A = this chain, B = another copy of it.
């Protein structure tokens, strides 16, 4: 195809770019627990002590030696003498000996000598200070043993984890009230194009508003980066070169949308090429939408040229930018299953064949099974994205998806 001398497949493009560039976080910082949610661990977190540090009851009941309840049943109950009570948050007041029990609350510390807890529901009051056990327990029943959750010296959470609610919970549990996390990547977001005006302006004939700055900035935030909007840059070589050079010095990743199509003045491609070494690695990819994509590296900083059409820009973000950003954030590689729903395609969809086709779909439940309904429309139609729940990727060389075919829907992140 004219202008795109080497139109690579998506895998070839990724591989060529990977050989030229490996994303790495630019540093770390220490944050407190309250700020840790959503951040990425820069080192393994090792438990400094056992969790829990003592055998704990998981129910309200009576601490026992399990062996002494082994024959207990409705007809042959075991009777144990109550010799005291465990208080919450306090050491057990005394050990238990043969035939003895201590009342214990949920979360209470098991007394020495006990190896299980009989639930309140499975006992009856006996004569005097005693209790009748109607159901046997085995050693460990209704007990969390010392270190059963995490052992001292064990890795509780691994480097590269983006901390979820349960992960910050675990940090709290082991007293890791400050953790080392990777710095959030700074991502420059530039829009170019002579037809583009800021969203607060009324477009004149032939003009449209800038969609990419706000959409790409939100995608960057979603991945834990800090968007740095550079606004709309004139589609002129000198202006572009200056702004790109500023952005590259200030940020860890530069995203520039628009102006990368061969038919345009191609100022973006030339400016990126002249920015520094090694420069443009990939220009043009067999993907739909998003063919005129540029992947470049300039003095160690990735510079990615995305198509001006907003939908293409978002597809390319997903297909190429997201992994770079994950790497810059220090995250472990994405697991394939996290965001994918298996569904059936609701109707036949023709596909590009010579290009990997990213088809927007929404999901609908029919008879309890998920179906993918294609949201058809050109890549300039933004509502094909706003009406969709995710994307079905049709591989190169396949010219359609049959009605009823099983497909994997890659879901958009929630928000």
Q: Footprint of B on A, CB under 8 Å?
A: 1-2, 33-34, 37-38, 51-54, 56, 58-61, 86-92, 105-109, 120-121, 144, 148-150, 156-157, 162-175, 177, 193-196, 199-219, 221-222, 224, 229, 235, 261-264, 308-310, 314, 335-342, 363-365, 370, 377-383, 385-386, 388-389, 411-415
CA distance A194 to B107 in the complex (A): 10
Q: Which residues of B contact A214 (CB under 8 A)?
A: 33-34, 37, 168-169, 171-172
Q: Are A92 and B206 in contact (CB under 8 A)?
A: yes
Q: Which residues of B contact A2 (CB under 8 A)?
A: 120-121
Q: Which residues of B contact A173 (CB under 8 A)?
A: 199, 208-209, 211, 310, 382
Assuming the contacts A156-B383, A263-B120, A365-B336, asked whether A208 and B165 have C-beta atoms less than 8 A apart, the reply is no
Q: Which residues of B contact A169 (CB under 8 A)?
A: 211-212, 214-215, 218, 310, 314, 382, 385-386
Q: Is the interface of A mostly helix, strand, loop or mixed?
A: loop
Residue of B nearest to A89 (CB): B195
CA distance A60 to B292 in the complex (A): 12
Assuming the contacts A173-B310, A194-B88, A264-B88, asked whether A412 and B166 have C-beta atoms less than 8 A apart, the reply is yes
CA distance A150 to B383 in the complex (A): 8
Assuming the contacts A205-B90, A235-B88, asked whether A58 and B380 have C-beta atoms less than 8 A apart, the reply is yes
CA distance A175 to B16 in the complex (A): 39
